[in-house]
Amino acid sequence: WFCYAKFHTTVMLRYMIVRHYRTFICSQEYLRHYYNLKKEQPLARIKRYLPSFTSKVKDMQSFFGLNTTGSLDSETLEVMSTPRCGVSDVEDYSHNNRVNRWNKNVITYSIGRYTSDLPHSTVDSLIESALSVWARASTLTFVRSRTQRADIMVEFATFEHGDAYPFDGAKGTLAHAFGPGEGIGGDAHFDDDETWTAGSKGFNLYLVAAHEFGHSLGLRHSQNPESLMYPTYKSTILLPQTWLESTLQPLNKCSADLSFDAVSTLGDATFFFKDKYLWIKHNQQYDIKEGPINNFMPKIESKIDAAFWVPRRSTAYLIHGTDISYHTTPSWLTPISNFGFPPWVQEIDAAVHIVKTGRTLFFIHDIYYSYNENRRVMDAGYPQYISDDFQGLNTIIDAAVYKDGFIYFFVGPQVYKYDYTQKQVVGNEKANTWLGC
């Protein structure tokens, strides 16, 4: 028994020594990368090395608001093991002598290598949305380039990838970006060993990209845990203009049963709303932008019930519950009762503006109202039954849009093409065909 106990104690002691040694080595790497700890000294000089190590541990603890003990306590080790940005917390991550801003207001970007975790179109949309965070908070404009000579090159890569800052595999360094400048300046690299998503599982590409593009614009890390520029990954952060909670999963635009809550033209684009999600299709382009509604309209926090566009005012009206807001000033709300609806109307199913007549039609259950946009009053004699005036449509309307002289009624996963002159349905198709499916 004595020999067994002695052997067991020796094995456990060796295990603890090895574990603590590995912890020390990993902590060294962390502090060298993020806190400018000098390279490890020879063993003979370890006594002179430890004070420097302890000092850097205190720097790290101070940055993250921990007790500055200088020891590798559990709280410190937990922070060190949290997935994070690869940019140093104490140095500029730059290659060109601390240039910290662009000398122009129009910044080009390009996406080189993609990740296989998400469709290319989703990556495109998330990267564009992440850049729009900074466009809204500054005077900068971001324009996508199809060349390899853009100001900001976006790449997904693994381990050594040509910039002297290799990635480390899953759940360590998520990404890094370089400050403004020529060559690699402004570029953002993402570790493709991570699991990239558009939701709350894995790592949300939109959140990480928005952080990295802050570095691309010359910003350093923040010590505020709620800031977008905080170095460790959080699924809920404070964006420059608004809160974003990363819980919204992307919707499958090609689902056979896809339906829309609202559809509206807005200039040369068509907007498709579903729950708190939005697709934007430009008439002259094949690519479709998509994402949470508040990525594009930061003040809109709820789903949209109906929407319509009045071209002569260049204004889109967004209806949510009993309120109408304007896309140009989303925080400006007006109650739908101002349009002349009776008090019992608490929700609009669909709305569409008819350019030819200057009327906006509001659909509610099995009835509809006609609003005179010129006189700003509800037409007399309304409401009327939908089935009486729209032959072939004896149903509740989910969404409607007016294009090229026709009204398109969205009913569940179907779209009915209605000839407003002949007063009849002249065709129908699946709703998802409008998104290229």
Max mean pLDDT among 82-96, 272-286, 419-433 falls in 419-433
Looking at the structure, do residues 169 and 113 belong to the same domain, yes or no?
yes
pLDDT of residue 16: 46
Q: What is the CA radius of gyration of the chain?
A: 28
Q: List pLDDT tens digits, range 283-324.
A: 765 667 887 787 677 667 678 999 998 888 878 889 888 888
Looking at the structure, do residues 334 and 384 belong to the same domain, yes or no?
yes
Looking at the structure, do residues 138 and 194 belong to the same domain, yes or no?
yes
Asked if the structure places residue 25 within a domain, the reply is yes
Asked if the structure places residue 113 within a domain, the reply is yes
Looking at the structure, do residues 308 and 402 belong to the same domain, yes or no?
yes
- Domain of 15: which CATH number? 1.10.101.10
Domain holding 122, by residue range, is 106-245
Q: Alpha-carbon distance 217 to 255, whole Å?
A: 38
With CA atoms as reference, report the closest residue to 136 among 17, 274, 298, 260.
Answer: 298
Q: Which of 212, 245, 373, 429 is catalytic?
A: 212
The owner of tokens 């819980």 is 247
Is 212 among the residues known to form the active site?
Answer: yes
Looking at the structure, do residues 204 and 302 belong to the same domain, yes or no?
no
Which whole number is the average pLDDT over 3-8? 41
Q: Alpha-carbon distance 385 to 115, whole Å?
A: 52
Percent of the chain at pLDDT > 70 equals 82
- Domain of 325: which CATH number? 2.110.10.10
pLDDT of residue 40: 57
Looking at the structure, do residues 283 and 410 belong to the same domain, yes or no?
yes
Cβ(154)–Cβ(127) below 8 Å? yes
Asked if the structure places residue 170 within a domain, the reply is yes
Q: Alpha-carbon distance 361 to 350, whole Å?
A: 8
With CA atoms as reference, report the closest residue to 217 among 287, 315, 114, 133.
Answer: 133
Mean pLDDT is lowest, of 91-95, 185-189, 212-216, 343-347, for 91-95
pLDDT of residue 15: 42
What's the domain count of the chain?
3
Looking at the structure, do residues 76 and 219 belong to the same domain, yes or no?
no
Asked if the structure places residue 98 within a domain, the reply is no
Is the confidence at residue 146, as pLDDT, over 50? yes
User: Among the three residues 81, 97, 118, which one is the final residue of a domain in this structure?
Assistant: 81
Is the confidence at residue 99, as pLDDT, over 70? no
Pairing outcome for strands 152-157 and 106-111? parallel
User: Among the three residues 200, 217, 245, which one is the final residue of a domain in this structure?
Assistant: 245
Paired residues of 335 in beta bridges: 323
pLDDT of residue 259: 93
Which whole number is the average pLDDT over 339-343? 88
Is the confidence at residue 414, as pLDDT, over 90? yes
Which whole number is the average pLDDT over 79-108? 77
The owner of tokens 């541990």 is 57
Under the banding of pLDDT at 50, 70 and 90, the label for residue 191 is very high
Is the pTM higher than 0.85?
no
Q: Alpha-carbon distance 326 to 346, whole Å?
A: 19
Is the confidence at residue 258, as pLDDT, over 50? yes
Asked if the structure places residue 89 within a domain, the reply is no
Which whole number is the average pLDDT over 380-396? 89
Q: List pLDDT tens digits, range 228-251.
A: 889 999 865 555 554 333 344 567
Helix axis angle, 46-63 relative to 2-35, nearest 10°?
60
Looking at the structure, do residues 37 and 166 belong to the same domain, yes or no?
no
Mean pLDDT is lowest, of 79-93, 124-138, 320-334, for 320-334
Asked if the structure places residue 279 within a domain, the reply is yes
Classify the phi-psi angles of 321: left when phi > 0, otherwise alpha if psi is within -120 to 50, otherwise beta. left
Give the burial string for 352-372 (b: 16+ CB within 10 Å, else e): bbbeeeebbbbbbeebbbbbe
User: Among the three residues 46, 81, 116, which one is the final residue of a domain in this structure?
Assistant: 81
Is the confidence at residue 206, as pLDDT, over 70? yes
Mean pLDDT is lowest, of 76-80, 83-87, 133-137, 228-232, for 133-137
Count CB atoms within 10 A of the CB of residue 377: 11
Q: What is the mean pLDDT of the chain?
A: 82
Contacts of 200 (CB under 8 A, 6+ apart): 235, 246, 247, 249
Which whole number is the average pLDDT over 364-391? 91
Looking at the structure, do residues 291 and 419 belong to the same domain, yes or no?
yes
pLDDT of residue 285: 59
pLDDT of residue 299: 66
Looking at the structure, do residues 332 and 377 belong to the same domain, yes or no?
yes
Asked if the structure places residue 145 within a domain, the reply is yes
Looking at the structure, do residues 153 and 52 belong to the same domain, yes or no?
no
Which whole number is the average pLDDT over 107-132? 92
Q: Alpha-carbon distance 119 to 124, whole Å?
A: 9
Asked if the structure places residue 257 within a domain, the reply is no
